Chains A and B, each alone.
Chain A
């Protein structure tokens, strides 16, 4: 079963505007972590933001914020004030802390293109 679902294959956003990337997840583990990564064409996975399942507040890191709705099992990423350098592939990932290997399960990703 798919653990992470990203339903938006690609999105266009105007420079300086905000964009929301959707992510839903599926787990029966009560303890888990949710991650967002940015992958530019160079290939490196760049960590953006983290939300723990027991965190009471939504995570924020600069222009990135995570809209965590636990009951809906969604963890949407909001990028505010988009910049041309934000054009990249974005992945949502989950780590179930009840497992022994702490592996990351990734979604299929969303391509973001920022227009000038």
Chain B
């Protein structure tokens, strides 16, 4: 097991731009979830993928989208960035949806 790795660790973008965040899950983990954590708050669920299909979504607009690939990597894409999108974005993976999650260290996105 190699854990969950996320890239980049830090990112600065301009309002209106698009961004792609990447996550490499533990080998064999079929489920990946993405969370947004604003400063001083708890993480908020964005969406979850199971075997490359989205199977759950939180209260986030469609400009937040994702992909999961057969090699256990995944992406979070955010279009038309807004200042409020500035946050720590966490990726979490698990073997199956009902198992415990392993989190990555996150990508800290700043929108200016």
Decide whether A and B assemble into one complex: yes
Contact yes or no, A102 B48, CB < 8 A: yes
The yes or no answer to A28 lying at the interface (CB within 8 A) is no
**0/1 per residue, A73-114, Cβ < 8 Å to B?**
000000000000000000101000101111111111100000
Q: Report chain A residues within 8 Å CB of B90.
A: 43, 45
Contact yes or no, A43 B48, CB < 8 A: no
Q: Report chain B residues within 8 Å CB of A105.
A: 45
Residue of A nearest to B56 (CB): A101
Q: Binding site of B, secondary structure by majority: helix, strand, loop or mixed? A: strand
Residue of B nearest to A107 (CB): B42
Residue of A nearest to B46 (CB): A103
The yes or no answer to B84 lying at the interface (CB within 8 A) is no
Contact yes or no, B56 A103, CB < 8 A: yes
Interface residues of A in 44-91 (CB under 8 A from B): 44-47, 50, 91
Report the count of interface residues on A (CB-CB < 8 A): 24
Report the count of interface residues on B (CB-CB < 8 A): 27
Question: Which of A4, A42, A45, A50 interacts with B92 by CB under 8 Å?
Answer: A45
CA distance A104 to B42 in the complex (A): 11
Contact yes or no, A44 B104, CB < 8 A: yes
Most chain B C-beta atoms within 10 Å of own C-beta, residue among A35, A99, A102: A102
Q: Report chain A residues within 8 Å CB of B56.
A: 99-103
The yes or no answer to B98 lying at the interface (CB within 8 A) is yes
Q: Report chain B residues within 8 Å CB of A97.
A: 98
Question: Which of A43, A47, A108 interacts with B100 by CB under 8 Å?
Answer: A47
Q: Report chain A residues within 8 Å CB of B58.
A: 103
8 pairs, CB–CB < 8 Å, chain A vs chain B: A43-B90, A47-B100, A93-B42, A101-B57, A101-B97, A103-B33, A106-B44, A107-B42
A: residues with CB less than 8 A from B are 4, 35, 37, 42-47, 50, 91, 93, 97, 99-109
Query: Which 4 pairs from chain A and chain B are nearest by CB?
Result: A101-B56, A106-B42, A45-B103, A103-B45
